[in-house]
Amino acid sequence: MITTRGYAAMEASAALKTYSFERRDPKDCDVVVDIQFCGVCHSDIHQVRNEWGGAVFPMVPGHEIVGIVSRIGSRVTRYKVGDRVGVGCFVDSCRQCECCRKGYEQFCDKGMVQTYNSQYYDGERTMGGYSKVIVVDENYVLRIPDALPMNASAPLLCAGITLYSPLKHWQAGPGKRVGIIGLGGLGHVGVKIGHAMGAEVTVLSQTLKKQSDGKRLGADHFLATSDPNTFKSRKNYFDLMINTVAANIDINSYLDLLRMDGTLVLVGVPPAPMTVGTFPLIFGRHRLAGSGIGGMAETQEMLDFCGKHGITSDIELIKIQQINEAYERVVKSDVRYRFVIDMASL
């Protein structure tokens, strides 16, 4: 076993604190990654606070992991010691079901093995990236493009792919009007990627406080959802909207902003269900859809796309000792735009 250290919540909503635990010794197909940086996703907070139910403690969160390969198993072919790699939201899947075979491992019939707060099919518990070392099968490891800095690339492993996948699937590109609801960790990367894909991008934020940032990130328009005029001026406007908000919003008033055959994609995961009216779907043949992260091949494609376009996250680099304070700030939408933990501080 490899003894490592991390930061864990020992029970629901508890402050995170130092925690020693063990990783498996690398199997033939495993790589050992010395973690350099880990992004702080709002999903970490939902899970530490058990807002989605089913949380298991102690929990070491973190699924936006980047680091350097320090050891490889005897049958590893894709990576060598010294490679710059990433690990995202899952570390295994059944590899046999239709979803896995088609490259949608995130929707595995058997259930993907999430990077933390989950267990492998043999019962081994998973622990995430707020730690020094992680051991992962090479098939669930990504390559970080040389052109990108490691620290600001970490959030691409979750926030990046979560926006890239629906933007690509619903064909964001020239001539398409895309609305991003919520300018947080997910939203701000979505603005950059949607802009790079050639779409017209509009941010729908609670206020105009982040307007100059939105424009700098590549948004063509920036609207405040607290202003009722926003909903009047953009009726029947968008081809695609992506809702990244972690709390319930009135989804019906956003559906009214879609053009005919437009799609509103939910990626934010508020703890409570929301109410959807029928009329906002019927008129304009609107679609309401969901999207979850992305498969391995698509995640690598996203990283390569970001490498080519020079896209990373805007980050606030923190020490691990600041993590509890960082959580409070994320909940208050007070982060520009993703906290990333420098694991050298651990």
By CB under 5 A, name the binding residues for Zn ion. 41, 43, 93-94, 97, 100, 108, 158
Q: Considering beta carbons, is residue 173 or 292 the nearer one to ligand NAP?
A: 292
CB of 245 to ligand NAP, least distance (A): 4
Q: Considering beta carbons, is residue 94 or 249 the nearer one to Zn ion?
A: 94
Contact of residue 128 among ligand NAP, Zn ion, none (CB under 5-8 Å per partner type):
none
| Distance in angstroms (rounded) separating the CA atoms of residues 342 and 10 | 22
CB of 122 to ligand NAP, least distance (A): 26
Beta bridge mates, 238: 258
**One-letter amino acid of 254:** Y
| Distance in angstroms (rounded) separating the CA atoms of residues 1 and 20 | 12
Contact of residue 322 among ligand NAP, Zn ion, none (CB under 5-8 Å per partner type):
none
Strand, coil or helix: 168: helix
| Distance in angstroms (rounded) separating the CA atoms of residues 191 and 251 | 20
| Distance in angstroms (rounded) separating the CA atoms of residues 192 and 188 | 7
Strand, coil or helix: 307: helix
Contact of residue 293 among ligand NAP, Zn ion, none (CB under 5-8 Å per partner type):
ligand NAP
CB of 268 to ligand NAP, least distance (A): 4
Strand, coil or helix: 111: coil
Question: Structure tokens of 19?
Answer: 């925690």
Q: Considering beta carbons, is residue 120 or 283 the nearer one to Zn ion?
A: 120
Contact of residue 165 among ligand NAP, Zn ion, none (CB under 5-8 Å per partner type):
none
**One-letter amino acid of 196:** A
| Distance in angstroms (rounded) separating the CA atoms of residues 58 and 243 | 31
Contact of residue 131 among Zn ion, ligand NAP, none (CB under 5-8 Å per partner type):
none
Q: Considering beta carbons, is residue 160 or 214 the nearer one to Zn ion?
A: 160
Q: Which residue is nearest to ligand NAP (CB)?
A: 184
Question: Structure tokens of 144?
Answer: 């970080």
Residue 192: CB atoms within 10 Å: 22
Contact of residue 108 among ligand NAP, Zn ion, none (CB under 5-8 Å per partner type):
Zn ion
Q: Which residues would be at the binding site for ligand NAP (CB under 6 A)?
A: 41-43, 46, 158, 162, 182-187, 205-206, 210, 244-247, 249, 267-269, 291-293, 330, 333
